[in-house]
Amino acid sequence: MDVVTDQPTAKDLLSRMDDGWAAFSQAVHAMPAERLEGRLGEDGWTRKQMLAHIAIWHDLTIDRLGEQNETGRPAEVEADEDAVNARAARGAGGRTTGEVILALDESYRRLRREVARMTNDQVGANKSWAATIIAANTWRHYDEHLPDLDRRSA
């Protein structure tokens, strides 16, 4: 995870989040549902599973930020990253594409509310730990997966 080296404010983070989310969400909502069921590569996730993956990392970020804000200490993910991703992929299998998109949208709204409640001191605490995980699980994560939503991709 790339560390955020500047000292962003909560307002700065919300702006970056919203900009990244706008582009990502627009691409999600523009893609036909049947394309979201398609695989990313021969043995890869479906786009729907990738969206569930984004949502689960939103939820984990909410939990981790809440713990830091209560204890003053960074909160690590309790499960292995691969296990978290596998859980997200499995969970997407039992839901419709529409349900996954609704869960994704709601997870972003909850995360945005959590960040909006943070003080600048909380954002910058522990060498900007919160800013770093917010960046990693929002705009940087969206940038990583946006090519998967390119209408020209298979």
Q: What was the pLDDT predicted at 5?
A: 52
* Residue 58 within any structural domain of the chain: yes
Structural domain boundaries enclosing 36: 10-149
pLDDT tens column, 115-127: 999 999 999 999 9
Token pair of 78, please? 């309790």
* Residue 127 within any structural domain of the chain: yes
* Residue 53 within any structural domain of the chain: yes
pLDDT tens column, 1-34: 454 556 889 999 999 999 999 999 999 999 998 9
The total of structural domains in the chain comes to 1
Where residue 139 falls among pLDDT bands split at 50, 70, 90? very high
pTM of the prediction? 0.91
* Residue 5 within any structural domain of the chain: no
d(CA 84, CA 7): 29
Q: Domain with 23 in it: what CATH number?
A: 1.20.120.450
* Residue 78 within any structural domain of the chain: yes
